[in-house]
Structure 1
């Protein structure tokens, strides 16, 4: 896995720990997204309908929503390196069990287990990255860790799909389990011990939920990121029915989305080091425009590739928003990390639901772009509300030196 380090390449004491934590998010990307592309294979293996096999995806999302707050609270006082090893170890076991599942209910159960460490690993690794970053570089360090997930969408998922199609989806699960085992060993070897010197109490952790600013910033994800999934969920249908190009163009479109996500992740991290609030607002407005243009762009495959690339770039706001949340709340960082992961999975449900409702009303697949634009604009309104609240509290963000 190759990523562009945010000014840490010359310092091995920070580069390798950040790189290893990015490997963990790469594994999570494979765990979550590869199963989507292999769903028909899983359905055929268990002799069930595609809709029934969809519970495999739902099971993972349920695991994330349950595990994110639960494990962040349970590991609140634990050395963060130890916590990371616990989470990667769980990834190893759960994916290994998924590889040998003998029935659909058993597979769904193992997928719930696979999702449990997802949010907690993300939150913990981002907190470790933030603690290692020099002043004014936190957003780019956190983006580096998040880049593992984005690279999984470009390289890992297409390769896993090919292995699943030509060998077995079970082998893919087994490979992910082995990678998680390797990550566990590398975390122990290369990530420095990170004891929690001042663990927060449960009262402080849950107290963060009383902060209106935390909810308004999280609302950018809850609502705005639904715009991403609204288009992405029906992208394959759009290409086949509206664009009317061969099936292989779907893979290219997915790859363009992944490339856009990776570049957007890097660019947003760099820009957010200077001005996180402005970066977020401008990116959301650009996403509204892109979603509207997608409706017409879908009639030409090259324009569609460009639109999907830009859509993927908007995902780069993820680490930026989490960095903002850490800035506006002095305590409850574990709960914030869990809240962010729950927000993403909620957006993953809202987007397809809104798009599906539009389609049920007689809209064409490409017109999900209109629904996507509405969701992105909803995210922009939450950003505007956040700006008002920050101005009232006179909150200032730490900026990188020029």
Structure 2
């Protein structure tokens, strides 16, 4: 680890590299990205593993499964609240220091979750554990983008996000298996351990950095005065709710609509995870060639694909194909994150962190609307139509964003 302070400037700046004296080697950059991705792996594992362990948690605390589900909402609430507040209050902290604090809080929150004696304290710990989620991903994306060439920023962001997508394939099944074989508490101790490893990796490999000149809470909060930032949030919160509308009810769609045995649910979920990883890799590459084209193109793709999902969900083969393609919809995430860096100007930390609040809103919105359609008697397959409508709304918002941006550039 070098002791020379590095400067992580605006991720949208063409001068986004450290100066010659502090320029990082390709190996150093790779190790930093690996450290950041390990943190994403830990966060993804901790966020999704609880869904498979709800019956175990409910049994331990003597509550119903719907009541136990409140801990998922508590975590999501922590993400939504924590991202903007932490990013604003930490405006004058070096990014390395902030990342270390965020991941330490995450590790501690999971360790205390494993030790929680009562359901109330467990719920509180899940809320606290969710607080650093958005800020960590936002700051990690900024650090990764600042080390990359301007035309490779989205790929750098995608490599950090790869930790999250790999968690859906490896981390979550591993933690769920450990929790079911031993105890759900062991699963959270595993996640806490991953967080502790991330702290060590960041401390070793990420150079010290200087706080950007003029950094302040007021400057970060200025992100909320920019219309383009709000439009970008809206695209994330609305346009990508469809993925969660389908995913939230995919188990019942698999068994009740497609008529597949319960054992196939795990395979279908694996297909979704593979799709997320494929989408993340391809989407980050596409975004470096055309940022706006990737966002708009993926929203249009989702409209068509999710409509096909509803039309063919009763067919096992088509269900599997459409679930894989739904996961591929994650391709737009690196692009949205990178565009937000561009439109946020000098308030990037708050904007980048709050983007993950927007995606958690998409999660809640998609699941809620999907539930309404199912409750109305339209069936589990109809969640695809919900996704298509949300994608269309997101595409409309994005079109408005692009049109206004073009008018501003002409003026």
Fold shared by both chains (TM-score > 0.5): yes
CA distance in 2 between partners of 1:289 and 1:159 (Å): 34
2:115 aligns with one of 79, 100, 121: 100
Task: Report the CA distance between 1:250 and its aligned residue.
Answer: 0.9
Task: Determine which of 157, 173, 185 is the counterpart of 2:200.
Answer: 185
What whole-Å deviation, never above 9, does each CA across 1:223-251 have from its counterpart, x for those lacking one?
Answer: 01111111111111111111111112111
- Deviation, 1:13, is 1.6
SS in 1 for 2:150: coil
Unmatched runs of 5 consecutive residues or more in structure 1: 1-9, 396-402
> Which residue does 2:373 correspond to in 1?
358
Name the structure 2 match of 1:170.
Answer: 185
Give the match for residue 211 of structure 1: 226
| Match of residue 72, structure 1, among 79, 87, 109 | 87
Once residues 49 and 179 of structure 2 are traced to their aligned partners in structure 1, the CA distance between those partners, rounded to angstroms, is: 9
Show the counterpart of 1:117: 132
Q: 2:209 aligns with which of 194, 215, 218?
A: 194
Moved runs in structure 1, 4+ residues, more than 3 A?
A: none
Within a 5 Å distance, the mapping from 1:27-46 to structure 2 comes to: 27-46=42-61
Q: Please give the root-mean-square deviation of Cα atoms over the aligned residues, in Å.
A: 1.3
Query: Is 2:261 the partner of 1:246?
Result: yes
What CA deviation, in whole Å up to 9, does each residue of 1:166-194 have, x standing for no partner? Answer: 22111110111111111111110011222
Is 2:190 the partner of 1:154?
A: no
Contact map agreement 1:128 1:194 (CA 8 A) in 2: no
Q: Give the equivalent residue in structure 2 for 1:312.
A: 327
Matched, 1:255 2:270: yes
Contact 2:155–2:281, Cα closer than 8 Å, also in 1:
yes
TM-score by length of structure 1 reads: 0.93
Residue 330 of structure 1 aligns with which residue?
A: 345
Give the TM-score normalised by the residue count of structure 2. 0.91
> Partners in 2 of 1:190 and 1:201 — Cα distance?
27
**Map of 1:4 onto structure 2:** none
Deviation at 1:78, TM superposition (A): 1.0
Contact kept, 8 Å, 2:35 with 2:202, in 1: the verdict is yes
Match of 1:368 in 2: 383
2:293 maps to what in 1? 278
Q: Within 2, Cα distance between the matches of 1:59 and 1:85? A: 23
Q: In 1, Cα distance between the equivalents of 2:153 and 2:209?
A: 17
- Note the residue ranges of structure 2 that are not aligned, 5 or more in a row: 1-24
Deviations 1:248-271 (A, max 9, x none): 211111111111111101111101
1:59 aligns with 2:74: yes
Correspondence for 2:302: 287
The residue matched to 1:141 in structure 2 has which SS?
helix
Is 2:113–2:126's contact at 8 Å kept on the other side of the alignment? yes
Task: Flag the 1:231–1:138 CA change in 2: closer, same or farther, 3 A.
Answer: same
